[in-house]
A and B are shown apart, each in its own frame.
Chain A
């Protein structure tokens, strides 16, 4: 079952008023997670082609320890971090692009639905988890 109740992020983005600080913080964390994912995928491709972490560190002027720290967690990443890593890994530059958060159709399936239909077995569920409105009974 899909709830039509909107999330705090949806409500904030649809309104014309100030966006709450929490929503902005959430969206920043989300963006960092996306970039972290993107850079690591590029890194995996490059490592398969022979790039080493040591060579990457030398290429972008970081110590191996510092590079390892940066690649471990996106918590302190900035656009400069992304730029340096992409240049060092793949000689690529960051190109502006963005995508609207609103207007996409919701997923019509949630993880808890699998419980009801006994489909779970280490599944890669293509589901969404709007579960504050859990209603399993």
Chain B
């Protein structure tokens, strides 16, 4: 199934994008995974214990945590290269803002995120957000879902428009058709289904459904 999805990714057509989404959604079924009941918190706990997710490591040990941010190990590895690639250390600081409870602005209108720190991506029903780290070029997007209010699970990261030396991550704006956005979203869905099988994600209509305190709707 994964190889079929990979083949579709080589195509450049609307049909391929639809097929990627359909096959991606069906992946857990074809993996033959048996879903047994676990509490949502136990699912998260198991993922951390397996090493499939890690808490964002903070750089200042005296900082107090207000929100939970769990990262795919690939993101942790990228952040760990901050001394070698300064942009990644800057990203660390931007992600810590979320964890430390600082003000978050959320945009709910896909493609109109320019003002926000967090933006809901299309299709909205997938519940995928990007944390928008915009200081200087290259901008970076960290994609994931809210597992519960104040608990974001980040599963994929991409440069926004310019590649970052030292990483083979394709920027989201390339190639021209915007397929990379689709690929990144599918990656999030697949990783979620693999790491957090059976777990739901938060949907909502107001900023406080996702970030309960010290948040606002972008553009308000």
Contact = CB atoms under 8 A, between A and B. Distances in A.
A62 interface: no
A129 B114 contact: no
Contacts of A8: 59, 82-83, 89
Interface stretch (B12-20, B25-33, B212-220): B212-220
Interface in A44-62: 44, 53
Interface residues of B, number: 62
Contacts, number: 176
Interface string B147-165: 0111100000000000000
A9 B135 contact: no
B89 A128 contact: no
Given A22-B90, A111-B65, A132 B48 contact: no
Interface size class of A (residues with CB under 8 A): 35 or more
A115 B84 CA distance: 33
Given A72-B218, A121-B41, A131 B54 contact: yes
B49 A136 contact: yes
Contacts of B94: 29, 33
Interface of A: 7-10, 20-30, 32-34, 36-37, 40-41, 44, 53, 68-69, 71-76, 101, 104-107, 110-112, 115, 120-122, 124-132, 134, 136-137
